[in-house]
Amino acid sequence: MDREMPIELAIDLDTDIDFDVDFDDSAARRARGYVSEVVVGLGLRGDSSFVETEPRAGAYVALEGRLPDFPHHDVALQWNELTGWSVAVEDRLGQLVEVARLSGDAWPEPSAVARWVGSVLRHERAHEQTNRDFAAFVPSQRSNVLS
C-alpha cells in the first residue's frame, strides 16, 4: 500500500517586499480643517457636519434656524471644492434643493461664509439668490412634496 507523502512548500517569510505606496492625505486634511473652521465660525459643533473627500471634497452642515420663505423645511449648508458654498432646504423626501449660492471663490475665508450664511438666514439679498421660485425647480410630480 502506498502512503501519501506530505507536500512541503518552501516559503521564505523573510522576503522583503518593497511597496512604494503614497498615502498623501494632505488634501483631505485641508478640506476637513477648512470645513471645521467654517462650522466653528457658525457657532456650531462638529457633529452638525459631514465631510467627504472622495471623489471630490465636499461637506454638509446642518444649520440651526429656518428660512423665512420655507419655514417648515430644514436648512443645510453644502460645500464642494470646485463650486463653493450653497444653502439648501430639505423637501419632505429629504432631498436638498439649493436656494442660495455664495458667489466667488470656492474656498472663501470661513468668516466670509459665516457672514453670508447669517445674511441668508436673515433673508437679506446681499448675494445672488438661486431657485427663487422653489416649486419651479422641482419636477411636477414632486411639487406637492414641498408645500
43, β-bridge pairs? none
Residue 95: inside a domain, yes or no? Answer: yes
d(CA 78, CA 60): 5
State pLDDT tens for residues 32-65: 999 999 999 999 987 888 898 888 899 999 999 8
Residue 9: inside a domain, yes or no? Answer: no
pLDDT band at 139 (very low <50, low <70, confident <90, very high): very low
Which domain range does residue 127 map to? 26-133
Which phi and psi angles does 36 have, rounded to 5°? -60, -40
d(CA 51, CA 79): 9
pLDDT band at 15 (very low <50, low <70, confident <90, very high): low
Residue 94: inside a domain, yes or no? Answer: yes
Residue 143: inside a domain, yes or no? Answer: no
Number of structural domains found in the chain: 1
Whether residue 67 is predicted with pLDDT greater than 70 in this model: the reply is yes
Tally of CB atoms within 10 A around 17: 4
Residue 2: inside a domain, yes or no? Answer: no
Mean pLDDT is highest, among 13-22, 86-95, 138-147, for: 86-95
